[in-house]
């Protein structure tokens, strides 16, 4: 055995498994496994990215000022209290690195994003799982899971992979009930898909124990560039910036994100299509005997009779050139998470699952 060993707990971290992206031997493949925008990125973001490519020899800004101002203008937030990162994953990692360590606990929900656990363990902290109630965040269970060792509490709202969410009053009750010294982190990766929802930004005002993360990977179609941001009390932003790399975002990332957040016409088009096809797909599958909870995101969590049926359906869909996401790793082995694609891909999914169900009838 080598004498060079990692820190305790690192080897206990399971590798993150992303959604499958290809089916060898098939040409007409619809990838519906990673909750990507089926319309891609805004043309204005693509144009900005292309222009920025002429400056590849230049270092990017270290303070991300232009992007922070753009985000602030669109969301009505103070740019000084915004931090940008390599996806919201990096912001989550910063939070764990800065506020949790050996002997501390990081609480997350039963079906929460895998990076909460991974980042907690990477910091040497202990992840603590709180049960959900019928795939919905349970505030009482989260509060019961907290102790005087709790430093961070993560919830995604809407949640991934369930698509469910809780209201502002429940989030406020959670924030107000946390132990002293614990920080509530609201992961808003899918917040834009909820009409009138600010991701929890309003709860941050007047509180020192609430922080919000957001991403450009979902609605804005920039998953390939990895851009995220966070918003919270100034004291926390100042702490996180102390460990943020000075050039963690490239000039191309910054330019594309700034253009994307300003292209509101493209955003509204994408949101309208997601609402339309999300309702259509959920209803179509329900008619086939495949229910799902009301989703507030850009995917639905289709529920099957058991793990065997879900796995068999996944295999059937692959033969039809459709890639969806098995979520057994999120303790939902009887479910498949299906991204809401464009109309063509949604109809292909419904047609394929109808064929699968008819075969077993």
CB atoms < 10 A from the CB of 61, how many? 15
- Average pLDDT over the chain reads 95
The β-bridge relationship of strands 105-109 and 150-156 is: parallel
Gap between the Cα atoms of 95 and 89, Å rounded: 10
- Mean pLDDT over 88-116 rounds to 97
The pLDDT score that the predictor gives to residue 361 is: 52
Question: What would the pLDDT profile of 104-113 be if each residue is shown by its tens digit?
Answer: 999 999 999 9
Please say whether the beta carbons of 213 and 189 come within 8 A: yes
pLDDT digits (tens, 9 = 90+) for 173-228: 999 999 999 999 999 999 999 999 999 999 999 899 999 999 999 999 999 999 99
Ordered structural domains, the chain, with CATH: 18-40+265-360 (3.90.1150.10), 43-262 (3.40.640.10)
pLDDT in tens, 294-353: 999 999 999 999 999 999 999 999 999 999 999 999 999 999 999 999 999 999 999 999
Q: Pick the closest to residue 357 from 299, 298, 317 (CA basis).
A: 317
φ, ψ for residue 299 (rounded to 5)?
A: -155, 165
Name 155's bridge partners.
186
List all residues 6 or more positions away from 90 whose beta carbon is below 8 Å from its beta carbon.
228, 248
pLDDT at 109: 97
Residue 48 has pLDDT above 90, yes or no: yes
Partner residues linked to 134 by β-bridges? none
Contact 335, 161 (CB under 8 A): yes
Q: What angle do CA 104, 108, 112 make, to 5 degrees?
A: 145
d(CA 143, CA 149): 13
pLDDT value, residue 20 = 73
- Is it the case that residue 234 has pLDDT exceeding 80? yes
Q: How far apart are CA 185 and CA 319, in angstroms?
A: 40
pLDDT confidence of residue 292: 98
Mean pLDDT of 145-165: 98
Q: Is the dihedral of CA 311, 312, 315, 317 positive or negative?
A: negative
DSSP 229: E
288/282 Cα distance (integer angstroms): 10
Pairing of strands 150-156, 183-187: parallel
Residue 47 has pLDDT above 60, yes or no: yes
Pairing between β-strand 335-339 and β-strand 299-303 as defined by DSSP bridges: antiparallel
Residues whose CB is less than 8 angstroms from the CB of residue 143 and which lie 6 or more positions away in sequence, other chains included = 174, 177, 178
């Amino acid at each position: 055995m080598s004498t060079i060993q990692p820190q305790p707990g690192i080897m206990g971290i399971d590798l993150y498994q992303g959604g499958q992206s290809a089916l060898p031997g098939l040409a007409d493949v619809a990838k519906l496994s990673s909750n990507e925008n089926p319309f891609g990125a805004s043309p204005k973001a693509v144009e900005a990215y292309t222009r920025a490519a002429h400056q590849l020899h230049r270092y990017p800004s270290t303070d991300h000022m232009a992007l922070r101002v753009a985000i602030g203008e669109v969301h009505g937030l103070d740019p000084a209290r915004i931090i940008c990162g390599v996806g919201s994953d990096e912001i989550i990692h910063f939070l764990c690195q800065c506020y949790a360590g050996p002997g501390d606990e990081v609480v997350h929900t039963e079906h929460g994003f895998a990076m909460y656990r991974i980042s907690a363990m990477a910091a040497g902290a202990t992840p603590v799982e709180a049960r959900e109630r019928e795939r919905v965040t349970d505030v009482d269970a989260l509060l019961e899971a907290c102790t005087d060792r709790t430093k961070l509490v993560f919830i995604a709202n809407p949640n991934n992979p369930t698509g469910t969410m809780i209201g502002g009053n429940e989030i406020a009750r959670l924030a107000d009930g946390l132990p002293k010294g614990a920080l509530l982190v609201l992961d808003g990766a899918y917040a834009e898909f909820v009409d009138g929802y600010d991701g929890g930004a309003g709860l941050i005002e007047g509180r020192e124990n609430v922080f919000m993360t957001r991403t450009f990977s979902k609605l804005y179609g920039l998953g390939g560039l990895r851009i995220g941001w966070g918003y919270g009390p100034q004291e926390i932003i100042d702490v996180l910036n102390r460990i943020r790399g000075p050039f963690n975002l490239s000039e191309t990332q910054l330019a594309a994100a700034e253009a994307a957040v300003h292209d509101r016409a493209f955003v509204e088009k994408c949101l309208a299509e997601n609402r339309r096809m999300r309702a259509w797909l959920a209803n179509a599958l329900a008619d086939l005997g495949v229910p799902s909870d009301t989703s507030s995101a850009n995917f639905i969590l289709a529920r099957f009779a058991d793990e065997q049926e879900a796995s068999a359906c996944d295999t059937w869909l692959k033969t039809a050139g459709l890639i969806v996401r098995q979520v057994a790793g999120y303790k939902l082995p009887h479910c498949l998470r299906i991204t809401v694609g464009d109309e063509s891909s949604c109809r292909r999914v419904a047609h394929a699952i109808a064929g699968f169900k008819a075969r077993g009838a």
